[in-house]
Structure 1
């Protein structure tokens, strides 16, 4: 036997001798081993559980090990054997009774370690007592720890240099973790469910390139110094900080920052008046579901390299500062979920603008005549703007325009109907004008999408044109045109691409409230089908 072996339902093994007969220790070619217990813990005694895992000792040629649902108090002796020099990947999950991890810290080849759902573990390195190996996890590059509610520190004792090659660190729901110690090689950090102490220690990670922090409902401000010393940081994402009122002025010290994404921070009102001037390299700025955000003040004047600006579901943000002097690099603009009644006049002075999307602006009544001044515009999308009546005649002058999409704008759709609408002559020169089926009632939505209220997941497969558009929550809001009394972020969209190259999009439907209707392009529906997943 060689390659990969996965053994499930180990709780059903009545006699540890049956596990021993598998003789895994003699399987020289076994490279990947997965061992799983399900939630039928009463089928085995505590002693038998531990003996079964002991009997399943693999050969030391093993490279990947995955243990899930193990109900023993301690791990077997073989997993603590330093002769497992070839292991490069270990995943341990749902082992709730274990309070101490094996000495993975000693494995010389281990590159990836995932630990999740272990309620009693307090330390990742729980074995250092002075002397011995001076460097812990000498080859580890990726560490993920999730739902370890008792975890306090990476190491019980100081004295051993840890994680010298770690580049990627992901921490999810570890509320008692006290700090991030000196980790000189970490370049990517994700922290979900973070406390103030951990946030305050981020500045120790001086080589960070990407920082993503999410889920805090207590802090009004980030701890002082959180963003200091991060001169290599290129990407900063801050999601779901429910009480965050402002960003620290030290954000201006992020001299290498290229992408800033602020999402679901409903108390955030503006950027700091001083602090943005240091973001000379910022190319991508996203503000989403910041419902009290009212002003970009003069922040944009410092962002001369800005190429993409996305303002989604920030209803109080109805104006942009004069940008004729500094938005010279802006190529892509998205405006959605706003109370604006007219497009900001500043946009007429954006010479490089190539794509513009205007969505869910119920008060927007007209498009300005200066739209024709956007001579570089190649793509224009207009959706869910029911008061829009017509297109300006100046759109005929945008000779670069290749694609026009209009939906959720009943009168505008009617006037733009191919060869029949009153405004068709204005857009007849555009090569790709989407034709839309129109607005469907909820009953038909339920028919086509599988009665979403009764299903947790809808698997939409074989969508060669549709799936690539699902690049975020707003794409679903815009494409399908769902409106809700709840925030759209309660919809979780994940995309996967399988080996057969078929694009698959999984939509998890939560409490989406009242759905008024939806819009689908007939061109996108071709060769598409929906499969229900109860």
Structure 2
């Protein structure tokens, strides 16, 4: 119900929510822009629902504290609680007595500083233990920048998501009960249920080595996904790494520029890891990549904007990555060499983009052992770098944004002729010709070239080609392949689907200058754009 228009407490008393015995969901919402007198605090205490309520949502409430009926835990059967945009709250209880609560969301509580005991005396005497509800399985806290700490989390918690929160340290896992309504157990038999930990934009957080990630003995069978993003002052991982998280599958560390290498003689990462993204972390250097050795489950690895990385790991490291099939290296501006990448036998997708210092003279002479499904580079010169230079069975080639490229690399294309099915070129402003022996690419099915105003003509194309797209070409080039009259129409007439567009792509105001030619035969579709 929308409550910003309620002006008197007696109006709200006429809403008998407490007597509605079958009410399961209640949403109380105020629009602060239409509640200039801040009367919400006069109405909310009279809107107490029945004890059987299961879902409660409060949005935009202007009072300085929670309603009494939440603080005294009257809603004992509550399963879901969402508190949003209540700008004046500075403290709230831990809701420990709400034994049925499974889902708790706190969002845009900008002044909230503390969750737990409501008085200093209670805190000092430990009269109220600072623990979250014992059956909680999802906790989401977003845009609570003043919140400095969090009560201990129960073992039942499965998802913890914090974003734009003022934490200095992560919360601890509560050790005195398993989450089943307070029953005790020895710490050796307690296992957390936490599967997802997502930490984002927590500027006060400097270390992951304090809090729940130092209690890895409780997480080793549960935590599968760890996402750490945009924590500008985070400088340390746990001292022993994350090796005890035996079920961790996905690890992402994004935009943590102060993160540094860890001095350890052993491994940093668990053997279970399948996907690992570092993006960007400026102080991470080559030694972190060496710690990837023996991660036999690793399938995908991404490096983004890691400026201290100068060389990828050695052949010895890559030989141990027996299941690696996707590697992306992007904007690593000081990377000189791809190291022993050629030894990654299972590699199927490789992207090397915006790494302009990589040069073939820095690359080892050894070839490669893998057969790529997809290769993505941003400049033709990367095809001269080992192990890419030695590729023989590539299926897809993507080259994007190479303004200097004048022709496709014929030698490289021919050595992949038996497997190459797709070539896609983007923003090729200086591309003038295609290789004279294009017709030898016997497996090529798709050729897509965008923004190629300098291209003059096409060579004889392979009989296997059934999709041809050329965009942004010179209108004079287009006329060579114009339906019925083009002088080189024979080169493309047997291609099932082709689309050729001039570089001055037509707007709706120019429709009268354009002729569209369509051949809608059963097996062919053809489209030309001709600008007079």
1:321 maps to: 339
What is the distance in 2 between the residues matched to 1:310 and 1:281?
Answer: 17
Displacement of 1:287 in angstroms is 0.2
Which residue is equivalent to 1:172?
A: 163
Task: State the distance in 1 between where 2:371 and 2:387 align.
Answer: 18
Contact 1:105–1:136 (8 Å) recurs in 2: yes
Match in the other structure for 1:64: 55
Q: 2:270: which partner in 1? A: 254
Q: Is the partner of 2:140 in helix, strand or coil?
A: strand
Q: How many residues align?
A: 422
Instruction: Name the structure 2 match of 1:305.
Output: 323
Of 394, 397, 407, the residue aligned with 1:380 is 397
Name the TM-score, length of structure 2 as normaliser: 0.69
**Conservation of the 8 A alpha-carbon contact between 2:207 and 2:234:** no
Q: What does residue 217 of structure 1 align with?
A: 232
Q: CA deviation at 1:115?
A: 1.1
1:263 equivalent to 2:279? Answer yes
1:15 aligns with 2:8: yes
Matches of 1:322 and 1:74, distance apart in 2: 60
Deviation, structure 1 residue 106? 1.8
| CA shift digits 1:69-116 (9 cap, x unpaired) | 211122222224545344322111222322332552222222111112
Shift of 1:59: 3.7
Q: Does 1:36 pair with 2:51?
A: no
Distance in 2, matches of 1:27 and 1:232, equals 46
CA contact (8 A) 2:239 2:262 kept: no
Match of 1:463 in 2: none
CA distance change for structure 1 residues 423 and 57 in 2, over 3 Å: closer, same or farther? farther
Contact 2:208-2:236 at 8 Å conserved across structures: no
Structure 2 SS opposite 1:181: coil
Alpha carbons of structure 1 residues 198 and 118: separation in structure 2 relative to 1, 3 Å? farther
Of 189, 194, 215 in structure 2, the residue corresponding to residue 204 of structure 1 is 215
Aligned to 1:409: 428
Are the counterparts in 2 of residues 371 and 392 from structure 1 also a CA contact under 8 Å? no
> 1:333, CA displacement in angstroms?
0.7
Q: Distance in 2 between matches of 1:25 and 1:16?
A: 16
Q: How does 1:59-208 map to 2 (within 5 A)?
A: 59-80=50-71, 82-102=73-93, 104-126=95-117, 136-155=132-151, 162-182=153-173, 184-192=192-200, 193=202, 195-201=205-211, 202-206=213-217, 207=219, 208=223
How far, CA to CA, are the matches of 1:270 and 1:369 in structure 2?
A: 19
Change (3 A) 1:372 1:103: closer
Q: Deviations over 1:352-407 (max 9, x none)?
A: 32111112x486586899868432x3322111122332232453544333322111
Whether 1:238 and 2:249 are equivalent positions in the alignment is no
Do 2:312 and 2:341's aligned partners in 1 also have CA atoms closer than 8 Å? no
* Cα distance in 1, alignment partners of residues 86 and 290 from structure 2: 49
Q: Aligned-pair distance for 1:268? A: 2.7
Which of 406, 410, 433 is residue 447 of structure 2 equivalent to? 433
1:234-257 per-position Cα deviation (integer Å, ceiling 9, x unaligned)? 222111122334355455352222
The answer to whether the 8 A contact 2:380-2:408 is kept is no
Q: Distance in 1 between matches of 2:194 and 2:319?
A: 32
CA contact (8 A) 1:259 1:282 kept: yes
Once the two structures are superposed, residues 459-482 of structure 1 have per-residue CA deviations (whole angstroms, 9 ceiling, x without a partner) of xxxxxxxxxxxxxxxxxxxxxxxx
Q: 1:426 to 1:112 in 2, by over 3 A?
A: farther
SS in 2 for 1:309: strand
Q: Distance in 2 between matches of 1:134 and 1:74?
A: 18
Inter-partner Cα distance in structure 1 for 2:409 and 2:22: 68
TM-score (norm 1): 0.68
Contact 2:45 2:68 in 1 (8 A): yes
Kindly name which structure, 1 or 2, has the bigger radius of gyration based on alpha carbons. 2
Per-residue deviation at 1:336? Answer: 0.4
Q: State the 1:286 CA deviation.
A: 0.4
Structure 1: where are the runs of 5+ without partners? 1-6, 156-160, 440-516, 520-534
- Confirm whether residue 332 of structure 1 aligns to residue 331 of structure 2: no
1:3 is aligned to none
Q: Is the 8 A contact 2:76 2:98 kept in 1?
A: yes
Three-state SS of the structure 1 residue aligned to 2:69 is helix
Superposition deviation, residue 19 in structure 1: 3.0
Counterpart Cα distance in 2 of 1:197 and 1:438: 50
Check conservation: 1:203, 1:229, Cα contact below 8 A: no
CA distance in 1, matches of 2:337, 2:84: 49
Paired residues of 2:339 and 2:364 also in contact (CA < 8 A)? no
23-32 or 378-387: which moved more?
23-32
CA 1:253–1:241 in 2, change beyond 3 Å: closer, same or farther?
closer
Q: CA deviation at 1:166?
A: 0.5
1:423-464 Cα shifts (integer Å, max 9, x gaps):
64254742222253558xxxxxxxxxxxxxxxxxxxxxxxxx
- Aligned partners of 1:369 and 1:294: how far apart in 2? 16
- Deviation string 1:496-530 (CA, Å, 9 cap, x unpaired) is xxxxxxxxxxxxxxxxxxxxx999xxxxxxxxxxx
* Structure-2 separation of matches of 1:239 and 1:36: 35
SS at match of 1:79: helix
Distance 1:18 1:348 in 2: 80
RMSD over equivalenced CA pairs, Å: 3.7
Task: List gaps (5 residues or longer) in structure 2.
Answer: 175-191, 454-502, 506-532
